[in-house]
Amino acid sequence: MKPVIFGLSGPALTPDERAFFRAAKPAGYILFGRNVQTRAQVRALTDSLRELEGRDDVAILVDQEGARVARLGPPEWPAFPAGPDFDRLYELAPMSGIEAARANGHALGLMLAEVGITVDCHPILDVARDDTTDAISIRAFGREPMRVAAMGRATLEGLAAGGVVGVVKHIPGHGRAVVDSHHHLPTVTASAEELEDDLAPFRTLAHAPMGMTSHIVFEAWDRERPATLSPVVIEQVIRGAIGFDGLLMTDDIDMKALSGSAGDKAAGAIAAGCDVVLDCWARMPEMEEIVARLDDIAGVSRARLDRAMATLTPPAGDMAELLDKRDRLLALV
């Protein structure tokens, strides 16, 4: 198995992808809008990945948060709200905000499990600020670490009840970035003491099965390298100060915050201490380059992956009832 999660080019595996993935044995796959059309089609696609791997516990990921960050959407699937909606309810009634987030996560899990998706890249635990880039602020659960952690925990619990593994992101925190890492490399100048607020939600949820790094330079820890490529940040901050011991994946290495070839970025992330690399765009030359540059997955990383996927439980619950509960609570605002 190679320590990489690959994207797919379309709504079904191509013959070239099937042959490549069979030989490469990636750690998992991630779906985007180009891969989803109908419930039956997505289920057939995920079933084909399980058949290819010869096992049921394949890590099949999607970014399904709500609002703008949703790969499965209307009219085939219901629209879901984003973090700020729950933040506004929490401001009025904290327990109601937490319960709404839990019901929302549970419904998300049921929706994804129905079509064979096993991992949701959610919840986002970034603590928002006045100048946080819109790429994060429109998704965040709020500006107060305890609040973010509480609704993040509820979302993780909801996803698990729905039969899906959650991924906390973007470790060690994206809230101080004032530019979008999809297009630029953010640099954060806050002190280590100030960054304690950003670490707090991740520390609270350090038991999460999976986490995703941020492509951000934190000058307090490493002035030269973004977190994804920094052994200092990964070993001393994420594994050390935060205490996270779940599967650590990169954010998409194609984002413009990182420079270099696909192979360079993938090898750099693994060398820095990430367990797996996320490469989303299904460009065959880049995927071949990544596989050529990476050794087989390390034993400790494979154990983290297996441990995370072992948390999968059969989905249970009524989606209509969960959505009704969530909507009744959100209507209180």
The set of catalytic residues is 182, 251
Give which of 238, 228, 291 is closest to 19, Cα–Cα. Answer: 291
Query: Which residues are within 8 A (CB) of 68 and not within 5 positions of it... i.e. 6 or more apart?
Result: 82, 138, 139
- Look up residue 93 and give its DSSP letter: -
State the burial class of residue 279 (Cβ atoms within 10 Å of its Cβ: 0-12, 13-18, 19+): buried
Distance CA 122, CA 66 (A): 10
Q: Burial letters for 128-157: b for 16+ Cβ neighbours within 10 Å, e otherwise?
A: bbeebbebbbebbbbbbbebbbbbbbbbbb
Q: What is the DSSP string of 172-189?
A: T--TT--S-TTTS--EE-
Which alpha helices (DSSP H) does the chain contain, by range? 15-24, 39-53, 83-92, 94-114, 134-137, 145-161, 196-204, 231, 262-272, 284-293, 299-309, 319-330
CB 112 within 8 A of CB 64: yes
- Cα 311 to chain centroid distance, Å, stands at 16
3-state secondary structure of 206: coil
Query: Which residues are within 8 A (CB) of 228 and not within 5 positions of it... i.e. 6 or more apart?
Result: 213, 214, 215, 250, 251, 253, 258, 269, 272, 274
